[in-house]
Amino acid sequence: MAGRWLETTTCRTDLCLIVSLALACVMLAACGESTGPSRRSVATDAALPPNASTSWVNGGSPGPYCLDVFSQDSTTFPLTGGHSGWYYCPNQSSGFASPDGYASLYLATDPLNPGSSLTEEAISVVRGSIQPTSYNPDGTIATFTRTDSLTCDGGGSVQPIWTGTTTQSYVRKTYRCCSRYVCNVCTTDSTAGGRGTLTANQPPPPPPLQLELLALPFRPLPQADRNRERVNKTVKASTIRSLGIARTS
């Protein structure tokens, strides 16, 4: 009885192997004799770069160069010795030329590089027009604001990523200045404080990637039909042999 069960099991395993091989032949024959595959293009949307911007608030200074940044976005910086350690320098350049030098900006956080500070030097500045906010009794301007455009292009040497604006408030002092025997009315403007915003102009995303999908139609062909008939005959014959294997103990 045990020998009969083992023989039947072995033959049934062989039968499964024969059927699997036969079906594989049918599939290969059908694919080999079918018409060429049709192609379909599918566009995959490229991920857009995230928008990034940052804003700051700076204090004033009687000097023409660097101003303390008190806060960036929602973060307020503590002062040590009256300074925050982060600066907006409206007139800084390599030669500290004033008032026509480049600007510089030193912020604690770079939105495009989390964990890093943002340093931009040699920022090109386009100065805006003066907007008076108060006047002296003689009609001269006492205070005013000015909005300048900023382009972080390394003084025109690199493609800018950051661009923005800054609006600063100024106090104008008018005084009499003389040179030898000639006297004139001179003015000095000092920054009372202000704020600014930079926005990252990230490069546009690449064009959508075209994926070629192969559509392989499965069509029964004459050769496939003949293979199918061979499989059916093989299955029937194997089944008959399997059933006839049983022995009597």
Please tell me the predicted confidence (pLDDT) of residue 36.
45
Q: Beta strands 162-179 and 67-72: pairing type?
A: unpaired
The domain tally of the chain equals 2
Task: Say whether both 62 and 116 belong to one domain.
Answer: yes
Task: Say whether both 13 and 136 belong to one domain.
Answer: no
Q: What's the distance, Cα to Cα, between the start and end of the chain in Å?
A: 6
Give pLDDT tens digits for 77-90.
999 988 999 999 98
Nearest to 22 by CA among 240, 233, 245: 233
Task: Say whether both 9 and 115 belong to one domain.
Answer: no
Query: Mean per-residue pLDDT for 19-43?
Result: 50
Give pLDDT tens digits for 191-236.
999 999 999 987 666 677 666 655 556 565 566 666 666 666 665 6
Q: Is residue 210 part of a domain?
A: no
Please tell me the predicted confidence (pLDDT) of residue 179.
86
Q: 1: exposed, middle or buried (C-beta count within 10 Å: 0-12, 13-18, 19+)?
A: exposed
Task: Say whether both 188 and 68 belong to one domain.
Answer: yes
* d(C-alpha 166, C-alpha 58), whole Å: 10
- The structure's pTM equals 0.60
Please tell me the predicted confidence (pLDDT) of residue 185.
87
* d(C-alpha 120, C-alpha 126), whole Å: 16
Task: Say whether both 188 and 104 belong to one domain.
Answer: yes
Q: Is residue 107 part of a domain?
A: yes
CB atoms within 10 A of CB 164: 22
Of 225 and 185, more confident: 185
Task: Say whether both 79 and 35 belong to one domain.
Answer: no
Of 44 and 213, more confident: 213
* d(C-alpha 35, C-alpha 127), whole Å: 69
Residue 45 pLDDT > 50: no
Task: Say whether both 146 and 239 belong to one domain.
Answer: no
Query: Mean per-residue pLDDT for 88-115?
Result: 79
- Domain range for residue 224? 2-41+216-243
